Chains A and B, each alone.
Chain A
């Protein structure tokens, strides 16, 4: 009987610990950058939602395509209207896992290189992606995650008309920076 009670208590405490290891942000930053000899195009989103669970290594990102800001208003309009079709596919999401060399204690200051793997959904198309990133904990309740990777426009079924083919790169660089706080 005592044993069962112990197991139950243990279960509760483990669950509590795990819940505390979920870290969260609503103001994550994602930038994409397209470079061609004709034109450099950059868009920034400062309203990215992200969750990371440091006990399991699970990660999730979600952002509205319409929240990407461009240098030129017309680019933003074309991006939403013609390329990513934001009315039809309002969000981009990522769900996956990170793998670190050693387990990460987000409350202890330190820098951790990780490999992130998972499913990226843009324009209604889901692809497996993999990248490396860094978690940097300041030991004061903030963990900053950063990563840079590239995706191919064609992989996500985004059609670029011939007339602007020279202005939009085939591979887009995506940079991510998120400042997580405990949930």
Chain B
């Protein structure tokens, strides 16, 4: 009897309420595992030429200035291509966190373009799991250059180009992200019967972060063979290969790159890149983006639980 009582008391003592550290353990034990969404898979909406899976958050406006210069092998007399610049000005707007729209104007071929982008699926881990982020992309481009042969009957529809992409990306680690971009470019008017109106291509892109604000990107668009046979300005059409650096400072992202493409929209770089890297037909280029917040993200309520406290602490 006595023994069992002592045992009883000892048990009680052992179960004595624990002190501060165990309080934290207790807290941790009550926490549910959250769903972790992958964020910042890429720094901005472009990998280099092509779109990334990223969409800008709701009510954010992105102003994008892009330049591509002439070929580096133009030599000193062309100032290594810098004498010959093309520009694209673009505006992109996030209607919601997942839905983005954009407009652009390229000096090259006097092209206007517009696009819609929707993030369908998001990579997540933790309480829920999904391995990749998937974004659907669709764009229209209108070439407003004067007709090369004004005498013949020219249709407005012949100025139109369409692009459809399914962008699939995975952020493998904090530093490394990989993207696959199956692409279809539809051209209403092509040079010859041997050229396909619908061009299928597969884009592959990756980024590796060097520091928090600096990353190296690479991008390649493989056009499945037999679709483009006519030369362009006397040169064979090549697959687009680009490498670049992303530098982020506050609301700006600077992207500097080397590419064999002249154009900054899909129909140009997927189906009309003529530079050959091995011959030095490399264009230097950059994108500069600036984000403007037009609304406060606080109104969204999506992430919010509970309201602001009714009364502020004394010293607020």
Give per-residue flags for B282-316: 1 if the beta carbon is below 8 A from chain A beta carbons, else 0.
00000000010100111000011111110011111
B288 to chain A, nearest CB (A): 14
Given contacts A11-B12, A49-B27, A51-B27, contact A82 B212 (CB under 8 A): yes
Closest residue to A70 on the B side, CB-wise?
A: B297
Q: How far is the CA of A71 from the CA of B297 in the complex (A)?
A: 6
Q: Assign chain B's interface to a size class.
A: 35 or more
A46 closest partner in B (C-beta): B306
A181, CB-defined interface residue at 8 Å: no
- Bound together, the chains give a CA A7 to CA B40 distance in angstroms of 60
| Interchain CA distance A55-B17 in the complex, whole Å | 10
Question: Measured between C-beta atoms, what is the minimum distance from A51 to chain B in Å?
Answer: 5
Can you name 10 A-B residue pairings with CB atoms under 8 Å? A15-B12, A46-B304, A58-B19, A71-B293, A72-B60, A80-B39, A95-B24, A146-B314, A177-B309, A177-B313
Instruction: Bits for B21-46, please: 1 = Cβ < 8 Å to A, else 0.
Output: 10110111011001010011000000
Contacts of B297 in A (CB 8 A): 69-73, 76
Question: Given A1-B2, A164-B249, A167-B250, A18–B17 Cβ distance below 8 Å?
Answer: yes
Known: A46-B307, A60-B24, A164-B249. 20 other contacts (CB 8 A): A4-B6, A15-B16, A18-B17, A24-B30, A27-B306, A67-B303, A69-B297, A70-B297, A73-B60, A73-B297, A74-B251, A81-B174, A81-B212, A82-B213, A85-B174, A146-B313, A148-B314, A163-B249, A175-B313, A176-B313
Q: Are A164 and B250 in contact (CB under 8 A)?
A: yes
Q: Tell me if B13 is interfacial: C-beta within 8 Å of chain A.
A: yes
The reply to whether the CB of B224 lies closer than 8 angstroms to some CB of chain A is no
Which residues from B are CB-within-8-Å of A164?
249-250
- Whether, in the assembled complex, B8 has its beta carbon less than 8 Å from a beta carbon of chain A, the answer is yes
Minimum CB–CB distance from A167 to chain B (whole Å) comes to 7
Sorting the interface of chain A by its residue count into under 10, 10 to 19, 20 to 34 or 35 or more gives 35 or more
* 6 A-B pairs with least C-beta separation: A73-B57, A146-B313, A82-B212, A60-B23, A58-B20, A60-B24
Contacts of B6 in A (CB 8 A): 4
Q: Is A130 an interface residue (CB 8 A)?
A: no
- Which of B13, B28, B60, B174 touches A88 (beta carbons < 8 Å)? B174
Quote the shortest CB–CB distance from B98 to chain A (angstroms): 12
Residues in A163-181 with C-beta less than 8 Å from chain B: 163-164, 167, 175-177, 179
Q: Which chain A residue lies CB-closest to B36?
A: A66
In the complex, per-residue mask of B232-260: 1 if CB is within 8 Å of any chain A CB, else 0: 00000000000000000111000000000
Contact string against A for B residues 250-290, beta-carbon threshold 8 Å, 1 for contact and 0 otherwise: 11000000000000000000000000000000000000000
